[in-house]
Structure 1
Amino acid sequence: MRSPHEAVFEAVEPATDVASPDEFARVQATTYHGTGTRTGKQWTVTVHDLPGGLVKAQGATWRDAQINALTCVVDLLQAAPGTVCLAVTPDDPQAAAALDAVTAARVARAEAEQAERDAVRRAAQILTGQGWTYRDAGTALGLSHQRIGQILADA
């Protein structure tokens, strides 16, 4: 059984259907921004500042409206697949601020987890460099001796 301290070291399985980083390096995408407004039972996404004009698309759900708007933008621009992105924010300032706060919190969490991994890796290097056993270093850090071995092997 792993300790809760080891959770940030759990490997996330990479997606198998994702293009290689080299393939992504050759693709340039342009992000357009739209606003979403709820009208009755429909969402309407409006995308301004497009080279070919304005796009409005509707959907029964936020997701449907985003997909429909992106499809309209791609069609309007006659863009190649994967070269256009659409970022939609709520037209309501309070809703937009709430979503921004969630994004900021998620980024902060990810950065804190990386800072923890970095601090543990550095501590494991220092402790074992001073002659501590993997078991003793792991106990001091709240990790298993096996995890210490993995961390140091990856360093």
Structure 2
Amino acid sequence: MNRYQVVVTREKPFWVAVVQGLPGGATESRSLALLEGEVRDLVSGLTDVDEDAFALSWDYGAAFPDDVAAVLGQVRIARENLERSRVEYERLQHDAVAGVRGEGVSVRDAAVLLSLSHQRISQIAS
């Protein structure tokens, strides 16, 4: 799957998106919420592929002063780390539930061990 880097700037009242490495790959929108659809339509039209056949990476840094851009970057990294941690936590939860239940520990006791509700233990175990 192709991935396109999109650099976003602000030219009030517009959000301007430039698709790196794609000649003619620029569009604008008054709403940031609508910009992805505009960019997908643009890339699809320029490359003759379906809108869901490629990935977009977004860079909003140029739209803000350096301090704000830095914080936005930190938020993005923190969110990615949080997602990785969540996935790892869920895997460990599953392994722990399987392990203690495999040792004959009751659902309610497993709930105490893992600081979860007995209902959640049952969900994980199924």
Q: Give the structure-1-normalised TM-score.
A: 0.62
> How many Å apart are 1:108 and its aligned residue?
2.0
What does residue 37 of structure 1 align with? 9
Structure 2's unaligned 5+ residue stretches are: none
> What secondary structure is seen at the aligned counterpart in 1 of 2:116?
coil
Instruction: Give the match for residue 109 of structure 1.
Output: 82
Work out the number of aligned pairs and report it. 123
**In the alignment, which of 25, 36, 40 is matched to residue 55 of structure 1?**
25
Q: Please tell me whether the aligned partners of residues 41 and 51 of structure 2 are also in contact (alpha carbons under 8 angstroms).
A: no
The root-mean-square deviation of aligned C-alpha atoms, in Å, is 2.6
Asked whether 1:87 is paired with 2:57, we answer yes
Answering whether residue 5 of structure 2 is matched by residue 67 of structure 1, we say no
Taking the aligned partners of 1:135 and 1:64, their CA distance within structure 2 comes to: 48
**Are the structure 2 counterparts of residues 75 and 122 from structure 1 closer, same or farther at C-alpha, using a change threshold of 3 Å?**
closer
TM-score w.r.t. the length of structure 2 is 0.73
User: Is the CA contact 2:17–2:28 (under 8 Å) kept in the aligned structure 1?
Assistant: yes
> Structure 2 vs 1, CA of residues 115 and 60 (structure 1 numbering), >3 Å: closer, same or farther?
same
Q: Percent identity?
A: 25
